[in-house]
Structure 1
């Protein structure tokens, strides 16, 4: 199934954020839930193997947008042979974007590819949080591959790909975490490198990126918090 979500955030003459475009088709609906917030709502099971979703976000200068989801995304395998499921977020940001959906759970035999691609203007600010869990309780893990690329005015700030699950080159026991959390924040002072148990925060031009791994999702979230607790996140009024 093909899914397309489009949201445009614009600053009006009074300095308020308006959303002239809020639309979706396929497996997702989108609802405005606050003055600068939208939530993604699943309208069908999945994603399933072979499904393809694209989320297009435009945040114009002076506008602020927070994107959330109402529940975790549970990735399921299709019957028989099928290509991986795929979700791509493409964002153009001249204002402030806060993207933090609920976790992605990749069930046994499922294969999911996730991409976040952001084009930042010089004054654009960004925070993107991603949470992944391989397998439900008592279930074998699925496979997840995530790529994040952030550019400012055409210059790359970050380009990274992480592969987890059976068949991923770097996912070999005893280094085979089932949970992964990452946050990219652009628009805050550049902090120093900080490390913790299975967690690291690295500086970027005008911001930072933090990642953490663990056997359980709540442990990965706590590990990331331990290396980012001394920095402030970009704030988006709800």
Structure 2
């Protein structure tokens, strides 16, 4: 199945965000759930091996867009050829984009590929989060490959690929992490290097990126939250 989601966010009268373009077909429907918030709603089971999802987001100057999903996605193997499922998100951000879907669970014998490519304008602000769990309860892990590319004015700010699960070059069971979470923020918040329990935050030009990994997703997201929580101001 091929799925296409397209959203354009624009600054409207009074500074409110309007959405002149909202299109979705295939595996997702889109519902506006707040003044500048959209939720992706799955309309089909999966993704299955061979499925392709393309999400195209444009946030124009002065606009804000918050993208969420209503439930975790469970990536499953196909019955035919062993093809990966693929989700590609392309974002052009001159305003503010906050992208944080629910976790992706990669079932046994499944390979899922997730890509995010973001082009930021001079004042664009991006926050993008990923949460991944390899395998459902009581089963072997699947394989997840995630790539994030962030560019501003033609200058690469971040280009990273994480490959986890059976067949990945750095996967060393039984110590390989089954849970992984990451957040990248660019545009309004500089932070120094910080570390936690199996977690690290690294600076980027005008922002930071943080990752955490481990055996259980709730512990991983907790460790990440410690590094990404807003810093308190001191008198």
**Into which bin does the TM-score normalised by the smaller protein fall?**
over 0.9
Alignment of 1:47-62 (within 5 A): 47-62=47-62
**Which position in structure 1 is the counterpart of 2:16?**
16
Q: Is the 8 A contact 1:22 1:31 kept in 2?
A: no
Q: Which residue of 1 aligns with 2:115?
A: 115
**Alpha-carbon distance in structure 2 between the residues aligned to 1:149 and 1:231:** 26
Q: Which has the higher contact order (CA 8 A, sep 6+)?
A: 1
Shift of 1:82: 3.0
The corresponding residue for 1:127 is 127
Aligned to 1:186: 186
Rounded to whole Å, the distance in 2 between the matches of 1:227 and 1:51 is 34
Which residue in the other structure is 1:69 paired with?
69
Calculate the aligned-residue CA RMSD, in Å: 1.1
Deviations 1:50-91 (A, max 9, x none): 000000000000000000000000000001323100000000
Q: Partner of 1:235 in structure 2?
A: none
Which residue number corresponds to residue 150 of structure 2? 150
**Could you tell me which residue of structure 2 aligns to residue 89 of structure 1?**
89
Greater CA drift, 182-191 or 105-114: 182-191
Deviations 1:100-155 (A, max 9, x none): 00000000001000000000001000100100000111111000000000001111
Which region of structure 1 is more displaced relative to structure 2, 205-214 or 13-22?
13-22
Distance apart, 1:227 and its partner CA? 2.2
Distance (whole Å) between structure 2 residues aligned to residue 231 and residue 177 of structure 1: 28
Deviation at 1:230, TM superposition (A): 5.1
Q: How many residues align?
A: 232
TM (norm. structure 1) is 0.95
Matches of 2:174 and 2:140, distance apart in 1: 16
1: CA distance, partners of 2:153 / 2:11: 21
Residue in structure 1 matched with residue 195 of structure 2 by the alignment: 195
Corresponding residue for residue 28 of structure 1: 28
Aligned to 1:104: 104
Measured after TM superposition, the shift of residue 14 of structure 1 is 1.9
More moved, 5-14 vs 68-77: 5-14
Q: Name stretches of at least 5 consecutive residues in structure 2 with no aligned partner.
A: none
Q: CA deviation at 1:23?
A: 1.1
> Which string of whole-angstrom CA distances, capped at 9 and with x for unpartnered residues, describes residues 149-184 of structure 1?
000111100000000100111111354000000000
Matched with 2:42 is 42
Question: Following superposition, which runs of at least 4 residues in structure 1 exceed 2 angstroms of deviation?
Answer: 226-232
